[in-house]
Structure 1
Amino acid sequence: MHIFYTPDIQSEKYTLSEEESKHCIKVLRLDTGSKLNLVDGKGGFYEAVIVDPHPKRTGLKVISHLKNYGKRNHYLHIAVAPTKNIERIEWFLEKATEIGIDEITLVICDRSERRDVKTERLNKVIVSAVKQSIKAYCPKLNEPVRFSELVSKNPSSQKFIAHCIPAKKNSLKEEISLNSDYLVLIGPEGDFSQEEINLALKNNFIPVSLGDSRLRTETAALEACFEINFLNR
């Protein structure tokens, strides 16, 4: 069944946005009586029927509603340095949303190759992935923030920094407690600076290894996303 993203839905009557209405009527060619599903990004999963098939403002009637649909037993926040080629971050956002992630922060580091990011396009990638993977929760994408600001203010229960500098590090599997909330820091292609690593350790971040291979930024971020989800199954 077709999925539509409806973040402002509040009652049993709803009107699709112009963009979603056009897709519904002109592209999918749905009509009066057609059933479709809605997700609000906050855990609500709805079944609705078309009552007014207008190409700019399609009217729907909700016929069933589930709360906390697909709610997971943990909260995952990944802070990742934006890559020079923004399409690589778009790829990460798409795949991480499909796997399961709650929050993403674009973190600006000493060695970041990109410091300015427009999040409007990135949010569209996330919403598209939410619909494709039938997720009722939409990950929160934060505006870019300096590394020092992020590590000094985040209250997550378990905080990790994945870096490549030789040092004593355990795997995520050895360090995480299950059913918790996590923040994982993933650096730029040139890795975190030693000063950044020291600051993270000072703020109770645990250094971890993501394996023996040297991973690209977006690959490392996705590996952390997959591993934490897998361990919490």
Structure 2
Amino acid sequence: MSLPRARLDRAEKISDNMWSLDLKESHHLVHVKRCRIGEEFEGLLEGRKLLLKIEGYEQGRVIAKERGKLPIYERSRHISLLIALVKNNAFEDILNHATELGVAEIIPILAERSVVQLKGQFTKKMERWRRIIAEATKISGIGNPPLLNTPLKVQDLRDESLPSLRLLGALTDDAKPLGSVNIKQQDDVVFAVGPEGDWTEGEMAYFARLKFLPVSLGPNILRANTAAIAGLSYIILCTEGV
């Protein structure tokens, strides 16, 4: 059985081996995970996983002693998900599962057919999405959360910022089956998934100029969240040589 986990990004190191957790993570450990004094938990921090033991509480904060480092697995390939904004529940589902799978970067796209608008809600949305990602790292034990980019339009994408292998989930006749693409273990990959109703012709033309390869995930029409996770799972398995 795995230990409870907390993020240490906002914790304070008060001595060589003692930590004071922030109020949110302290509440999570004590009131959600029901951890008590003397119990151990895993602390996640950029690229590290620490074993800690709860020593006490101070003004609502957990005081924990560092007992050692734990092994942490970080993927060697940079896998990016470029995902059109879809309805809130579906988009949050994508954030959760993409984080658990170990993507390095998530790039939200304001597609022409996206039904979600961010006017007046941008800051709150980004804060909520980052919280969802942070929670997902605690489920999967990931030290480094994926980078969440500011939402862009397709036309804002730049060639120099993209890896060499660029895959575009598409419903077009020229889309190759994803399983037929030669994805090497050394490849960094970006995988793009459009909104319900797919990309517009103009967006597809821009992807073509950026040398994205249209790929198909099978004969069935998939929802965006299903397509994103199915495609990512296959790509990650290929790059990890599983």
Q: TM-score of the superposition, structure 2-length normalised?
A: 0.86
Alpha carbons 1:25, 1:55 under 8 Å: kept: no
Letter of the 2:67 counterpart:
I
What's the CA shift for 1:71?
Answer: 1.3
* Number of residue equivalences: 230
Partner of 2:19: 14
The worse-fitting range, judged by mean Cα deviation, of 126-135 and 48-57 is 48-57
**Equivalents in 1 of 2:163, 2:199: separation in Å?**
20
What's the counterpart of residue 59 of structure 1?
63
Listed as ranges, the gaps of 5+ residues in structure 2 are none
1:88 alignment counterpart: 90
User: Which of structure 1's runs of 4+ aligned residues deviate more than 6 A?
Assistant: none
Q: Deviations over 1:30-58 (max 9, x none)?
A: 34332111111x22010011223236222
Distance (whole Å) between structure 2 residues aligned to residue 149 and residue 142 of structure 1? 12
Kindly provide the CA deviation profile for residues 48-91 of structure 1, in whole angstroms up to 9, marking residues without a partner as x: 11223236222122111246x111232210011111x2011111
Q: Counterpart amino acid of 1:95?
A: H
Tell me which residue corresponds to 2:191: 184
Cα distance in 1 for partners of 2:164, 2:95 equals 23
For 1:107, the equivalent position in structure 2 comes to: 109
Q: Which residue of 1 aligns with 2:54?
A: 50
Residue of structure 2 equivalent to 1:161: 168
1:152 deviation in Å? 4.1
Supply the distance in 2 between the matched residues of 1:168 and 1:106 (Cα, whole angstroms).
22
User: For 1:142 and 1:112, how far apart are their aligned partners in 2?
Assistant: 17
- 2:77 is aligned to 74
Identity within the alignment, %: 25
TM-score by length of 1: 0.89
Unaligned runs of 5+ in 1: none
1:171 to 153, 173, 178: 178
Tell me which of 110, 129, 135 is aligned to 1:128. 135
Residue 32 (structure 1) aligned with residue 34 (structure 2):
no
Q: After TM superposition, list the pairs within 5 Å mapping 1:214-229 onto structure 2.
A: 214-229=221-236
Offset at 1:168? 4.7
Q: CA deviation at 1:26?
A: 4.0
